[in-house]
Structure 1
Amino acid sequence: MNSTTSNIAFKGNDRLLFGIIMGVIAFWLFAQTTLNIAPDMSRDLGMTANSMNIAVAITALFSGIFIVVMGGLADRIGRMKIVRIGFYLNIIGSLLVGLTPTGDLTLPVLLVGRALQGLSAACIMPASLAVVKAYWDGAERQRAISMWSIGSWGGSGLCALFGGLMSQNFGWRSIFFVSIAVCILGLWMMRGTPESKAETKGDYKFDLPGVLTFMVAMVALQVVVTQGNNFGWASPLSLGLIAITVVVGALFLKIESKSPNAFFDFSLFKNATYTGATISNFLLNAVAGTLIVSLQLVQFGGNMTAQAAGMLTLGYAIAIIAFIRVGEKLLKLYGARKPMIWGCLITGLSIVLLSPANLLLTDYKILAIIGYSLFGVGLAFYATPSTDAALANLPDAQAGAGSGIYKMASSLGAAFGVAISAAIFTAFSANNESIMWLEGVITFSGRQDNLAVREAAIMALGFNVLMIVVAIISIMLTVPKGKKT
């Protein structure tokens, strides 16, 4: 059944558009502030670094697990309904995070709140884009998508700066109470919008076995990545989690290969260009781990406040908003391959500039300002060409599934990138023992009592550079030269 008759004449307006954007901002600007304020939260709540790493990464993990599922449900039961559910989930999740108590309930309350924020993003992201497609046309749709993208990319660029300012001046809990207010405002602005649904054949069945096995495998993998060092990599618990990941992951592959209603369509990866763009998208989002490592480096190693650390990222926020349309123009001039590679190279250079933790803090801050600015430029160059490369060659019938998996790669990339980078950083810094071979190669200026933190940052940021190298290789092997992809 199509959307109801009353929907046919409905045209999107700015009130609806900015209401939707409130939900996008609730995730990118508010939920993602934990990349910077994690040290403040862990000190206040009395949490270990390993537990805090899980809390930081679990939001993107749950977003990645459910984004394809919620996008499919939105088409069938109503896009506005799923968008509103996303707002309600964020209100509940933000309330739990903002009211997280200290003591035995700290970790479970915080993790549930952060998981609900991830589910909220999984609802809002695909469903709101579907609403934009349904209620805007032509140039107005392009404008609406641009505004949506600015809310997403701009929010991700500003989250570290915003989180630091709020945490320093009003306390970190205030961030999540403001998020609730933003969601309430968004719900009010969307009031009266008619429902929108896709045509269905009536034979759809929810892929519960596929979703459950995927979720179990991803959560087990996330726990072993973040807690493996704490458990002991060869401990029965770690080995058990690895076994669960492998066995349940294999079961997921078997279920999805045979299910007529599989939520994850593996046939999409027969298209090499789509495969390369999706893999590189996963890896470019995974370098979000750069932010949590570099921001914790200057806080733990340089005694900077979250506010002062966040100020270093101002160039990132400005650059990603200013240059995202440049990536679109480069796509039109050169095709997808060149700007995707250029974006990766610039992002890689930015991580290299953020890596010299051996310098004095005054010198490092100068490199950090330049590095964060280039980080924004690189991601902005990459974003639009990558999306176009992923979707341009897919049949119309697979565009929805293809875009859902591509966005899932974004969220899961961020989740695992942050988790792995934080785990490397935490493991080396908690060891309190210097890395002898590293000291033999690099001379550390200034204080010598924080060598473990500085060396840990170099190792973790080196991992992020490696992911950039793999991303470039995947693009070169799969995305064809020229304007047509």
Structure 2
Amino acid sequence: MTAASPSAAVHTDWKPTDKWLLGIVLAVINFWLFAQTLLNVIPGIQGGLGIERTVGNLAVSITSLFSGIFIVVAGGLADRIGRVKIMNAGIVLSIIGSLMIALTPANAGVLTSGLLLGGRIVQGLSAACIMPSTMALVKSYYQGKDLQRALSFWSIGSWGGSGFCSLFGGLMASSFLGWRAIFWISIVLSIVALLLVRGTPESRAAVQPGAPARRFDWGGLVCFVIMLVAINIYISQGPNIGWLSWVGITLVAVFVVFALAFLQIEMSRSTAFVDLKLFKNGTFTGATLSNFLLNGAAGTLIVSLGLVQVAAGMSSLQSGLLTLGYLIAILATIRVGEKLLQRFGPKKPMLWGSIITGVGILMCSMTFLLIGQYIVLTVIGFTLFGIGLGFYATPSTDAALSNVPDAQVGAASGIYKMASSLGSAIGVAISAALYVAAQAVDPKLIESWGLFIGRQDNVALRFGGAVGLLFNVFMVVVAIASIIVAVPSKRPGHEEQARPGEVAPAAFGN
């Protein structure tokens, strides 16, 4: 995503209002709050819809997958054809996607799966359009302290929405309104957002006179989409299709072939869809890889919350309440991470945040305990999860974006944000797949270990949960290693202070 230069927006007589900013926040929150509710709601509704658990898991991950795939594309289109056009298209897509999910019939076979998955894909495309376009509009029409304030509200829409989604989804699903009300409310707020931003002057990125038109890398995009969809389907549907079945092997082969083709295309073009040359910068690579992995730890939510619903009979609301500390902690510590960055540079707070996050997830992995003990540990664990991400967020964004040339900041921020969405999609898919697959282990074998205390009729379920959750701990460990290896302890001297008029990277949000 590329921020507009002052010459990109010429409507000096138009001033944004607080109502307009509210419309922007509502557009952003429609993804982070409403679309992400399935992380908690899906275990309770898949039976009523008559879909298999693997289809439900795919429905959870596929939205972030498509958001991650197309966010760079949508950001580029917004810069060229207009940010208002792309923002409005994103809000309309949010309405369509939510409508498809709200109208998904129960026990209708292919129609049920098709509408649910189709709606989730459309929601992912919506998020890809909304996030870069709204950020660019805010940066086009605000300056100085007003810009910092506006970007803070934008971040509240993303971070606050992601922190509140499990609790909100559980509340709606457990109420008399039912889970479909989540998406009807999303439609209403999307319409309100359209009304509030109506009349916004168009904004585009400034184009240098005489600059040649950039040809879009359609070949790279097609290969990227095919390889990621293939591996996501293989991961999420593996327990059903068979990991070593001919279908599974074909999906892996498709992934490998198109991944190699993608690398070949991107390395041979000057206008690549993903600028792989950025990864020659070790700091950018370390920050982006750790960002991908820590966002992948979102799999903790679907496994832990799904486990307490199935194994302990908790409602989606009760399980959502376990994440209340996560919401409070992440909002309370984002600014703390900013202060730590200013004092210590990016590496230490990134490491501290990752370690705290890993400890929190490890506490959620202790499924061998009695349910009362496990609930206490998950409340503490999710709170630590939020604190860790709060410490990590701003320093990581700073490390990624302040260490690349100015001409590449737009591409770098797009790749960094793409890593967030793809990490979430792939992390959720793998965690959920391991959760399901590990339940096939013989319960008698698990009982023979003498590790799981309390009820023994659900040891396979609890073992599956432990495996899925420990995978998230592993991802955090790899993230810590990438930070240690690639991120320098101190930033170069000229980067210690923000340039005049520059906004702290904290504003980039999720």
Residues 179-190 of structure 1 correspond to what in structure 2 (within 5 A)?
Answer: 179-190=186-197
Give the alignment partner of residue 116 of structure 2, picking from 82, 104, 110: 110
> Is residue 2:199 matched to residue 1:192?
yes
Give the alignment partner of residue 38 of structure 1, picking from 32, 36, 42: 42
Partner of 1:470: 478
Kept after mapping to 1: 8 A contact 2:9/2:140: no
Partner of 2:326: 316
> How many angstroms does 1:234 deviate by?
1.3
Question: For the residues of structure 1 that align with 2:473 and 2:8, how far apart are their CA atoms?
Answer: 50
> How many angstroms does 1:50 deviate by?
0.5
> How many angstroms does 1:138 deviate by?
1.1
SS in 2 for 1:380: helix
Partner of 1:71: 75
> Is residue 2:154 matched to residue 1:148?
yes
> How many angstroms does 1:377 deviate by?
0.6
Unpaired runs of at least 5, structure 2: 496-510
Normalised by the length of structure 1, the TM-score is 0.97
> Is residue 2:340 matched to residue 1:330?
yes
Unpaired runs of at least 5, structure 1: none
Kept after mapping to 1: 8 A contact 2:170/2:317: yes
Q: Which sits farther off after the overlay, 290-299 or 200-209?
A: 200-209
Normalised by the length of structure 2, the TM-score is 0.92
Residues 155-201 of structure 1 show CA distances to partners (whole Å, capped at 9, x for unaligned) of 11100000000001021111001001111111111111100001233
Question: For the residues of structure 1 that align with 2:444 and 2:281, how far apart are their CA atoms?
Answer: 44
> Is residue 2:230 matched to residue 1:220?
yes
Residues 46-445 of structure 1 correspond to what in structure 2 (within 5 A)?
Answer: 46-102=50-106, 103-104=108-109, 105-169=111-175, 170-200=177-207, 201-429=211-439, 431=440, 433-434=442-443, 436=445, 439=447, 443-445=451-453
SS in 2 for 1:7: coil
Kept after mapping to 2: 8 A contact 1:331/1:483: no
Kept after mapping to 2: 8 A contact 1:274/1:391: yes
Change (3 A) 1:258 1:481: same
> How many angstroms does 1:483 deviate by?
4.6
1:361 partner letter: I
Change (3 A) 1:64 1:442: farther
Kept after mapping to 2: 8 A contact 1:277/1:389: yes
SS in 1 for 2:443: coil
SS in 2 for 1:443: coil
Partner of 1:29: 33
Kept after mapping to 2: 8 A contact 1:40/1:172: no
SS in 2 for 1:358: coil
Partner of 2:468: 460
Kept after mapping to 2: 8 A contact 1:287/1:417: yes
- Aligned pair count reads 483
> How many angstroms does 1:41 deviate by?
2.1
Partner of 2:454: 446
1:179 partner letter: S
1:434 partner letter: P
Question: For the residues of structure 2 that align with 1:308 and 1:234, how far apart are their CA atoms?
Answer: 38
Question: For the residues of structure 1 that align with 2:76 and 2:365, how far apart are their CA atoms?
Answer: 41
1:447 partner letter: R
Kept after mapping to 2: 8 A contact 1:132/1:144: yes
Residues 117-157 of structure 1 show CA distances to partners (whole Å, capped at 9, x for unaligned) of 00000001111111111111111111111111111011111
Q: Which sits farther off after the overlay, 316-325 or 8-17?
A: 8-17
